[in-house]
Amino acid sequence: MKKILLGLLAVVALAVLGVLGMAASKPDAIHVERSTTVTATAADVHPFADDFTLFTTWIPWTALDPSQETAYSDPPRGVGAWYTWEGNDQVGKGKMTLLSSAPEKTVHELEFIEPFPSKAEASVLVADAGEGKVKITWAFDQQADFGTKVMTVFMDMDSMLGADFEKGLANLGPLVEKAAAERVAAEQKAAEEAAAAAEAAAAEAAAAAQAEPVDGPRSLEPGKAPGRTLKR
């Protein structure tokens, strides 16, 4: 019996050493990204990365727990803005803070509190794709400590997180394209109204010019020559 127990302990020890060895060989950084292309401009995409009240309308984890508790800074947009969440085991608890914000690149700091404390960065990058389209890339970057490396022995972060990113971008695309279409319609309406106003102003000016009397030479009384009258 003692030999069996020693054998089992040896197997367990070897398994642990194997896991630790595999963890030690993992890279020091984790990077995951996914991309999509939409008909829009970088300015159309930006609010959905810059404003946390819009950001939470398309990220996939919102749907995992519709009753999760969320809180937003005031205002919920711009550098320094933040949002917090706390929900079921699928979403956990954490905080996201806006580190930098521009139409071409927005960077968020992720602070996971539960179930495992850790920090990472997420970025939304937008690049011109030609023909009125832009390429949106959602990226995740994290420095991997040894505990994280051990976790990645059992989990494929690219497959797991990449699938979530794909869902999120599938949600984001239609929202951005709708906003872009509304912007184009508003710009077209404003241009038509400006053209109509200019046309109306030109017509009014022409009508006013026609109505003004034309000054001509004064008529002289019969028998009088033109000239000045001198007073003595």
Tokens of 38: 């939409």
Q: pLDDT digit string (tens) for 26-82?
A: 555 788 999 999 999 999 999 999 999 999 999 999 999 999 999 999 999 999 999
Q: For the chain, give every domain's residue range.
A: 28-158
**What confidence score (pLDDT) does residue 141 get?**
92
Q: pLDDT digit string (tens) for 153-200?
A: 445 667 778 999 999 999 999 999 999 999 999 989 999 999 999 988
Looking at beta carbons, which pairs linking 51-55 to residues 24 or more positions away fall under 8 Å? 51/76, 51/77, 51/81, 52/76, 52/77, 52/81, 52/82, 52/83, 52/96, 52/98, 53/77, 55/83
- Upper half-sphere CA count for residue 197 (Cβ side, 13 Å): 6
**What confidence score (pLDDT) does residue 25 get?**
47
The CATH class given to the 28-158 domain equals: alpha beta
